[in-house]
A and B are shown apart, each in its own frame.
Chain A
Amino acid sequence: MDRPAEAEPTGVLETAAAVAGGARSAVQVLTEALERVEAGDGRVRAFLEVTSALAFEEAKSVDARVAAGERLPLAGVPIAVKDNLWIEGRRATCASRILQGFRPSEDATAVARLRRAGAVFVGRTNMDEFAMGSSTENSSVQTTSNPWDLTRIPGGSSGGSAAAVSARFVPAAIGSDTGGSIRQPAACCGVVGFKPTYGRVSRFGLVAFASSLDQVGPLTRNVRDAARVYSVIAGEDPRDSTSSPEPVGDPEGASGRGFAGKTVGFLAEAEVEGLDPDVARNLGDLKKAFRAAGATVTTVSVPRATAAIAIYYVVASAEASSNLARFDGVRYGPRAEASDLLSLYVETRTSGFGAEVKRRILLGTFALSAGYHEAYYERAMSARQLLSEDFDRAFSRVDALVCPSIPTPAFRLGEKTEDPLSMYLSDVFTVPASLAGLPAITLPSGLSREGLPLGVQILAPRLAEEALFAAAGALEREIAFPQELPPGMA
């Protein structure tokens, strides 16, 4: 049935069911999504590019497949994709000048799986250049606003994807998470963001930032939608040697299973003096919510979590310095005019990369250099191993670990751009799970006194996504997070 475009749009499951059941067409769903983007993205600027023509072709193809009797778990679901993932026919630029005009020849594995499942790709979303940042302000293209307050950051680096879901443009978006790049913006924008266990989702077609940390994951409006999108994109891929052969299981079913009789441990290291009062109060509410869901609440310590930011900025930058060496102007991307090889490299990279990317390349190059290798890179890798062991010990006592997703609600645009260190600290709660390769989900857990979203993060042991979704689903049902359009969009 025709529904007015301004009607409250539905989520992933409802949309897929309506299109699969023939109640709505993928073309209709897409038309409405594009109308919402048209009406609202002037304020939010979540999209770098809206690819309507290609999306309509995809929507028509989905309608034909549904008519032919194909069962598609994401039938007609409009999805926004972060600009660091390959979508056939679209550019993939990582919001960087150095990748201007780069057009991959095929879909990333995750994107191909979404396509096979019936998803329709609305466009490419804004991000911090090469996923390096926590506010999306490091994009070389544009600044994205938080739909809850347009003067605030959407978080980052997947800020465009988080804002697109928060603004109700699309029911789901895809992001990538290296140290919190899905979870931190999701929390800032009041949506669900999930980073799978390292190796669950193929990285083929994801432009690498830090190879041992990067994971692709969904941003959605609820836990069950995240589980649906995740189960579509997850699973072994022969094109990614680090992908896990373990079966994905039934995370969607698990999200409705409940968490009664299980134990959750609140991270002791998070509840320290100086914690934001809104965040501290929220943690108290969350303990009650878990108890209401029938879970036992305790406190656990992961001592090395406090070293996570230090470890992360050595390891991630070291890998990035190597991963970004390929951007030399020789084979693709813009090439600076130069008369010799060295100036070709220097000019191309100087004009192609933004300040934060250069900072991390320098940091990483330094950490790997002869004379410093042991003191920085090797020491960080040892500490990373110890941190993982801390988590193992913690998970021997609890089924899931809980901590805030963000240390404060979304800060103002421009507030931290001159202070990289305080920007780095925005990821203090998300980085530990990245270093240990653990699955972690954030869900909106309340509002600050200023009316901004707060986020709670749940961590589970490696590959224990089912337990994670069970905990997240149970908690979500206990939290009454407002469902109306965010204030910035009203």
Chain B
Amino acid sequence: MSSLETPERTRVFPVIGLEVHAQLQTRSKMFCPCPVTVGDEANAATCPICLAFPGTLPVLNREAVTLAMRLALATGSEIHRDSRFSRKNYFYPDLPKGYQITQYDRPIATGGGIEIDTPGGSRTIRLTRIHLEEDAGKSLHDTPFADVPSTVSLVDWNRAGVPLCEIVSEPEVRTAEEAASYLTELRRLLRFIGVSDADMEKGNLRCDANVSVRLSEDEPFGTRVEIKNLNSIRFVAKAIEHEIERQAESLRRGERIVLETRLWDEKSSRTVPMRGKEEAQDYRYFPEPDLGALRIDDAWMSEAAATMPELPRARRARLLAAGVPASDAETLTSARELADYFEQTAALASTRLAANWVTGEVLRWMKERRISAEDALSFPVSPARLAGLLRMLEAGEISAASGKEVLAAMIDSPAEAAALVTEKGLGRISDAGELDRVASEIVASSPGQVALYRSGKTATFGWFVGQVMKRTGGRADPSSVREAITRALETDNG
């Protein structure tokens, strides 16, 4: 088990649990038909139901449940056939009903885990539970509008009612790095199985961390502090590190840790108190009477299982077995669509070349065109067309340099690689007569270099090769070029 070595050589043993909220990738909100949209005009995606007009009732979005089930299957969590929703009651303007519909005493899934890589090898962080709930709206206290005075708060309810699933880990994370690794793995998984786009910048993946420290592993858990406002994996790691150190300092000074919620303040790089738990709200949970029990029958279970894609780790292993280098396999499985793109290409061309080109040139172009790995399948060069190009490379019909040029052209043209090679005259110069002609011309026009060569400076040979390659636009096969130069130098009488 890892620990933190403090300057005073007092080891502390951190105990970390993570609560992650992931926005589910559904078309509509959790309990109404409003679309789930991003960056729309404020309050454009609202209706009487998500604005809690009196007389409206929630109707559960089945798709959200199926996605949560998919996540549960992917993490080996137990799906409960009979779960239910409860009301979490509190007043805030961004919470239209005055309560949040969430799962409380009977979540949809419990148990399971996320496998992470640590310096000491892979380890599973167990999950406490996965549950469904709705998001609240967004309050704007510093209005961005010139005509609205700063004393006025505005509310945007576009997010109100957006489906979320909360993933709660057991307090088994031991270091900030492990926390980062857990989040990276979870984010990859959520994206891979199409449950969430897990974009932390957009707030579609949010993480709260519960941190406590103790002076020995035999001690009971210390008082835990919850850290909020962690909107990137890097911040999560930094905040946890600082919090561990802060708590360690306190313990060293003989102080007691206060049960509280702290916010990560990026500017000052430290956690600051938000509210104490003694002011904790009484949420008055009770079962939501507007929704019946959430019963999952066999058909629904099979449906969720049937739409379950192969998991990243399994896929990585399969790619490794097919001969893909480890680092490429890691890159290719960062998104399901990218892995699909690769496999569709590899099915029609050499696996090695496909791995090399997809992780290299293709990803470079995608980045340039701002196409995310999740959108790999919308890259303008389809796997079939890319495979056509790779086959020409493999057969030696074009050079690697030409291949890059052809790929660039393919992005803007629907033509096949072969047609573009012909059109651009990029085919390999395999005609010995043509190479002999070019080589003779160069030898004839470079008496100085020839003299050097003849005087024993055989390194000059490389200069001739370079000249020929330059003149032929890199289309010539290097060994053919060498042969042609040898012939030209032999026949040169100068």
> What chain A residues lie within 8 Å of B58 (beta carbons)?
241
Evaluate whether A322 and B89 lie within 8 angstroms (CB atoms) in the complex, with A241-B59, A370-B282 already known.
yes
* A204 touching B291, Cβ below 8 Å: no
* B292 at interface by CB-CB < 8 Å: yes
> What chain B residues lie within 8 Å of A345 (beta carbons)?
91
Q: Could you tell me the distance between the alpha carbons of A370 and B155 in the complex, rounded to whole angstroms?
A: 30
* B57 touching A239, Cβ below 8 Å: yes
Return 10 A-B CB contacts under 8 Å, by A number. Answer: A205-B55, A206-B55, A240-B57, A322-B286, A326-B96, A328-B93, A331-B96, A332-B53, A341-B93, A370-B284
* B97 at interface by CB-CB < 8 Å: yes
Closest 6 pairs (CB-CB, A-B):
A325-B98, A368-B284, A212-B289, A211-B289, A207-B54, A326-B52
The stretch from A56-64, A100-108, A221-229, A289-297 touching chain B is: A100-108
CB distance from A304 to the nearest CB of B (A): 20
* A241 touching B292, Cβ below 8 Å: yes
* A326 touching B59, Cβ below 8 Å: no
Q: Could you tell me the distance between the alpha carbons of A331 and B54 in the complex, rounded to whole angstroms?
A: 11
CB distance from A373 to the nearest CB of B (A): 7
CB distance from B409 to the nearest CB of A (A): 53
Which chain A residues numbered 68 to 118 have a C-beta less than 8 Å away from chain B? Answer: 85-86, 92, 94, 99, 102, 104-105, 108
Residue-wise interface mask of A (228-256) relative to B, using a CB-CB cutoff of 8 A (1 in contact, 0 not): 00000000001111100000000000000
* Residue of B with least CB distance to A333: B54
From A204, A325, A327, A331, contact of B99 by CB (8 A): A325
Q: Could you tell me the distance between the alpha carbons of A348 and B409 in the complex, rounded to whole angstroms?
A: 66
CB distance from A365 to the nearest CB of B (A): 7
Residue-wise interface mask of A (322-346) relative to B, using a CB-CB cutoff of 8 A (1 in contact, 0 not): 1011111011100000000100010
CB distance from A338 to the nearest CB of B (A): 12
Q: A204-B55, A319-B289, A368-B89 are known contacts; what are 16 more A-B pairs with Cβ within 8 Å? A: A92-B54, A204-B57, A205-B55, A206-B55, A207-B55, A210-B289, A211-B290, A212-B289, A238-B59, A322-B98, A322-B284, A322-B286, A325-B98, A331-B96, A368-B286, A370-B282
* B284 touching A331, Cβ below 8 Å: no
> What chain A residues lie within 8 Å of B54 (beta carbons)?
92, 94, 99, 102, 207-208, 326-327
* Residue of A with least CB distance to B282: A370
Evaluate whether A318 and B286 lie within 8 angstroms (CB atoms) in the complex, with A241-B60, A328-B93, A328-B98 already known.
yes
Evaluate whether A241 and B57 lie within 8 angstroms (CB atoms) in the complex, with A212-B289, A370-B282 already known.
yes
Q: Could you tell me the distance between the alpha carbons of A247 and B292 in the complex, rounded to whole angstroms?
A: 19
* A203 at interface by CB-CB < 8 Å: yes
Q: Could you tell me the distance between the alpha carbons of A94 and B285 in the complex, rounded to whole angstroms?
A: 26
Q: Could you tell me the distance between the alpha carbons of A355 and B91 in the complex, rounded to whole angstroms?
A: 21
Q: Could you tell me the distance between the alpha carbons of A322 and B282 in the complex, rounded to whole angstroms?
A: 13
* B360 at interface by CB-CB < 8 Å: no
Residue-wise interface mask of B (34-64) relative to A, using a CB-CB cutoff of 8 A (1 in contact, 0 not): 0000000000000010011111111110000
CB distance from A441 to the nearest CB of B (A): 24
* B159 at interface by CB-CB < 8 Å: no
* B291 touching A108, Cβ below 8 Å: no
CB distance from B379 to the nearest CB of A (A): 41
CB distance from A417 to the nearest CB of B (A): 26
* Residue of A with least CB distance to B291: A241
User: What's the dominant secondary structure at chain A's contact region?
Assistant: loop
* B87 at interface by CB-CB < 8 Å: yes
CB distance from A238 to the nearest CB of B (A): 7
Q: Could you tell me the distance between the alpha carbons of A85 and B55 in the complex, rounded to whole angstroms?
A: 8
Residue-wise interface mask of A (18-60) relative to B, using a CB-CB cutoff of 8 A (1 in contact, 0 not): 0000000000000000000000000000000000000000000
Evaluate whether A328 and B91 lie within 8 angstroms (CB atoms) in the complex, with A322-B98, A369-B282, A373-B284 already known.
yes
From A104, A242, A330, A365, contact of B284 by CB (8 A): A365
CB distance from B31 to the nearest CB of A (A): 9
* A208 touching B91, Cβ below 8 Å: no
> What chain B residues lie within 8 Å of A395 (beta carbons)?
none
> What chain B residues lie within 8 Å of A105 (beta carbons)?
48
Q: Could you tell me the distance between the alpha carbons of A211 and B288 in the complex, rounded to whole angstroms?
A: 9
> What chain B residues lie within 8 Å of A322 (beta carbons)?
87, 89, 98-99, 284, 286
Q: Could you tell me the distance between the alpha carbons of A327 and B58 in the complex, rounded to whole angstroms?
A: 17
From B57, B89, B153, B290, contact of A325 by CB (8 A): B89
CB distance from A354 to the nearest CB of B (A): 16
> What chain B residues lie within 8 Å of A203 (beta carbons)?
57
Which chain A residues numbered 360 to 385 have a C-beta less than 8 Å away from chain B? Answer: 365, 368-370, 373, 377
Q: Could you tell me the distance between the alpha carbons of A105 and B99 in the complex, rounded to whole angstroms?
A: 23
The size of the chain A interface, using a CB distance under 8 A, is 43
Evaluate whether A325 and B97 lie within 8 angstroms (CB atoms) in the complex, with A211-B290, A241-B292 already known.
yes
> What chain A residues lie within 8 Å of B155 (beta carbons)?
330
* A331 touching B52, Cβ below 8 Å: yes
Interface centre among B55, B59, B93, B289 (most CB of A within 10 A): B55
> What chain A residues lie within 8 Å of B99 (beta carbons)?
322, 325
Q: Could you tell me the distance between the alpha carbons of A69 and B188 in the complex, rounded to whole angstroms?
A: 62
CB distance from A341 to the nearest CB of B (A): 7
* A242 touching B290, Cβ below 8 Å: yes
Q: Could you tell me the distance between the alpha carbons of A108 and B232 in the complex, rounded to whole angstroms?
A: 45
> What chain B residues lie within 8 Å of A241 (beta carbons)?
57-60, 290-292
Q: Could you tell me the distance between the alpha carbons of A325 and B87 in the complex, rounded to whole angstroms?
A: 12
From B48, B96, B282, B286, contact of A377 by CB (8 A): B286
Q: Could you tell me the distance between the alpha carbons of A425 and B317 in the complex, rounded to whole angstroms?
A: 71
* Residue of B with least CB distance to A331: B51
Q: Could you tell me the distance between the alpha carbons of A85 and B97 in the complex, rounded to whole angstroms?
A: 19
Which chain B residues numbered 78 to 121 have a C-beta less than 8 Å away from chain A? Answer: 87, 89, 91, 93, 96-99
CB distance from B94 to the nearest CB of A (A): 9
Q: Could you tell me the distance between the alpha carbons of A85 and B57 in the complex, rounded to whole angstroms?
A: 13
CB distance from B488 to the nearest CB of A (A): 84
> What chain A residues lie within 8 Å of B59 (beta carbons)?
238-241
* Residue of B with least CB distance to A329: B93
Q: Could you tell me the distance between the alpha carbons of A92 and B54 in the complex, rounded to whole angstroms?
A: 9
> What chain A residues lie within 8 Å of B290 (beta carbons)?
208, 211, 241-242
CB distance from B228 to the nearest CB of A (A): 20
CB distance from B195 to the nearest CB of A (A): 24
Residue-wise interface mask of B (272-308) relative to A, using a CB-CB cutoff of 8 A (1 in contact, 0 not): 0000000000101110011110000000000000000
CB distance from A360 to the nearest CB of B (A): 15
> What chain B residues lie within 8 Å of A205 (beta carbons)?
55
> What chain B residues lie within 8 Å of A373 (beta carbons)?
284, 286
> What chain B residues lie within 8 Å of A94 (beta carbons)?
54
Evaluate whether A330 and B93 lie within 8 angstroms (CB atoms) in the complex, with A104-B55, A325-B98 already known.
yes
Evaluate whether A326 and B55 lie within 8 angstroms (CB atoms) in the complex, with A241-B60, A368-B284 already known.
no
* B53 touching A369, Cβ below 8 Å: no
From A206, A239, A242, contact of B292 by CB (8 A): A242
Q: Could you tell me the distance between the alpha carbons of A279 and B292 in the complex, rounded to whole angstroms?
A: 39
Evaluate whether A326 and B98 lie within 8 angstroms (CB atoms) in the complex, with A242-B290, A318-B286, A319-B289 already known.
yes
* Residue of B with least CB distance to A102: B54
Q: Could you tell me the distance between the alpha carbons of A239 and B290 in the complex, rounded to whole angstroms?
A: 11
* Residue of B with least CB distance to A106: B48
Q: Could you tell me the distance between the alpha carbons of A325 and B96 in the complex, rounded to whole angstroms?
A: 9
Evaluate whether A86 and B55 lie within 8 angstroms (CB atoms) in the complex, with A241-B290, A242-B292, A318-B286 already known.
yes
Evaluate whether A204 and B282 lie within 8 angstroms (CB atoms) in the complex, with A105-B48, A328-B91, A345-B91 already known.
no
Which chain A residues numbered 300 to 327 have a C-beta less than 8 Å away from chain B? Answer: 318-319, 321-322, 324-327
Which chain A residues numbered 274 to 298 have a C-beta less than 8 Å away from chain B? Answer: none
Q: Could you tell me the distance between the alpha carbons of A368 and B57 in the complex, rounded to whole angstroms?
A: 22
* Residue of A with least CB distance to B98: A325
* A208 touching B98, Cβ below 8 Å: no
> What chain B residues lie within 8 Å of A319 (beta carbons)?
286, 289
> What chain A residues lie within 8 Å of B52 (beta carbons)?
326, 331
* B57 touching A326, Cβ below 8 Å: no
From A212, A325, A369, A377, contact of B91 by CB (8 A): A325
Q: Could you tell me the distance between the alpha carbons of A240 and B54 in the complex, rounded to whole angstroms?
A: 14
Q: Could you tell me the distance between the alpha carbons of A85 and B282 in the complex, rounded to whole angstroms?
A: 32
Q: Could you tell me the distance between the alpha carbons of A318 and B285 in the complex, rounded to whole angstroms?
A: 10
Interface centre among A99, A102, A331 (most CB of B within 10 A): A331
